[in-house]
Amino acid sequence: MSVQQPTDQIFNQLDVFGHKKVVFCSDPDTGLRAIIAIHDTTLGPAFGSTRMWAYKSEGDALNDVLRLSKSMTYKCAIAGLNMGGGYSVIIGDSRKDKTEAMMRKFGRFIKNLNGEFITSEDVGTNPRDMEYIRMETQHVTGIPESLGGSGDPSPIAAKGVYMGIKACVREQFGTDSLTGKSVIVQGIGHVGENLVKLLRDENAKVYISDINDERTRQVSKKYGAEAVSNNSIFDIDADIFSPCALGAIINTETIGKLKCSIIAGSANNQLQDEHQHGEMLLEKGILFAPDYVINAGGIINCYSELMGFSKKRTLQLTENIYEATRNVLKLSKLEKISTTDAANKIAEKRIADIKKVKSTY
């Protein structure tokens, strides 16, 4: 798919994914080239981060924003938030191309959507960029705590993943306790490190791997986690594999090697092919916690910022991820469908139900 293709093909793709609106933002003065995709606004305004990435082609950027915005619809729905799904991408190298003027111009495009889209930081953007956007529009979250925002969402995201892991452990081992359970955490960045802390606080045996050796050494020493090389993670016989770095890490090759009984981590889009690999895991008896269900803590944090919720309320909403995961696992078992299909069903049902509620003025 390339945006150079005839527009009927773009519209066809929007029809297939069910998108409502796509906005192309172009400003040669600041070098801004961005796409805002609004997937569904049944539950509320479309919420989604802004990613800045040096995409190989405009078609790749469009595909990414369409895929990401659709998954936001599902993430918000299953987390019980009154928000729809959207996303935006800025085409460019964030280290070289990003300027205050570019981000503020982008803020103007968001402002013109009159609240239909609300954003936050992602790969290639940071709280400072959100501050620039905030100078032009109020429809942005992830502002630093010192400026009245909710600050770094990673600890909350990690807490949600931890609750999701507990729900899976309950299913596979009949207990919520992680004491004595072994967990491999792949990627010990913002979320991964916070997760390692929670796991070690409960006396789980934790293995860590990261491409950043210095970071691996530091985190290993700080929390008493065992560092392993990225190549050997699939040789380790651990109860839980927690991908907290990359998408598409669960594929035909890695499923063949996995020895764990649970996969539960923060990385987005962990299954290379949602349907095929979801089914393969089901057949192999490996419990997969759908990523968008258990990594919703970050978005809950941003939602709380919008709603003016307290930290206590944010934590409560994040702890609900335990119940949301349990419901997914129950439906998967009952209907003998993959956990991803079960999660999608629950999310779609909530959207359909609320659509009916909203039919009365």
Residue span binding ligand NAD (CB under 6 A) among the ranges 56-64, 86-94, 190-198, 353-361: 190-198
Which region among 88-96, 189-197, 275-283, 320-328 touches ligand NAD (by CB under 6 A)? 189-197
**Min CB(186)–ligand NAD separation in Å:** 5
Q: Smallest Cα–Cα separation from 140: which of 306, 24, 297, 298?
A: 306
Q: Closer CB to ligand NAD, residue 41 or residue 268? A: 268
Give min distance, CB of 335 to ligand NAD, in A: 27
Q: For residues 195-254, which are near ligand NAD according to CB under 6 A? A: 209-212, 215, 230, 244-246
Rounded Cα distance, 49 and 133, in Å: 12
Min dist CB 127 to ligand NAD, Å, is 12
Q: Is 139 annotated as belonging to a binding site?
A: no
Residue nearest to ligand NAD (CB): 189
CB of 15 to ligand NAD, least distance (A): 27
**Alpha-carbon gap, residue 218 to 76, rounded angstroms:** 34
Given candidates 119, 120, 220, 266, which one binds ligand NAD under the rule CB under 6 A? 266
The token pair at 67 is 């895929």
* Selected binder of ligand NAD within 298, 306, 314, 347 (CB under 6 A): 298
**Coil, helix or strand at residue 42:** coil
Q: Binding residue per annotation — 189?
A: yes
β pairing state of 262-263 and 240-243: parallel
Structure tokens at 91: 């085409």
Alpha helices in 19-120 (DSSP H): 58-78, 100-111
The residues that bridge with 243 in the sheet, in sequence order, are 186
Query: For 293, what's the count of Cα atoms within 13 Å in the CB-facing half-sphere?
Result: 30
Does the annotation place 44 within a ligand binding site? no
Closest to 102 measured CA to CA, from 194, 34, 9: 34
Identity of the residue, 61 or 282, whose beta carbon is nearer to ligand NAD in the bound complex: 61
Token pair, residue 310, equals 């307290």
DSSP SS3 for 116: coil
Asked if residue 71 binds ligand NAD (CB under 6 A), the reply is: no
- C-beta of 21 vs 215, nearer to ligand NAD: 215
Interface positions, 268-297, toward ligand NAD (CB under 6 A): 268, 295
Cα distance between the two ends of the chain: 40
Residues that bind ligand NAD (CB under 6 A): 153-154, 157, 186-192, 209-212, 215, 230, 244-246, 266-268, 295, 298
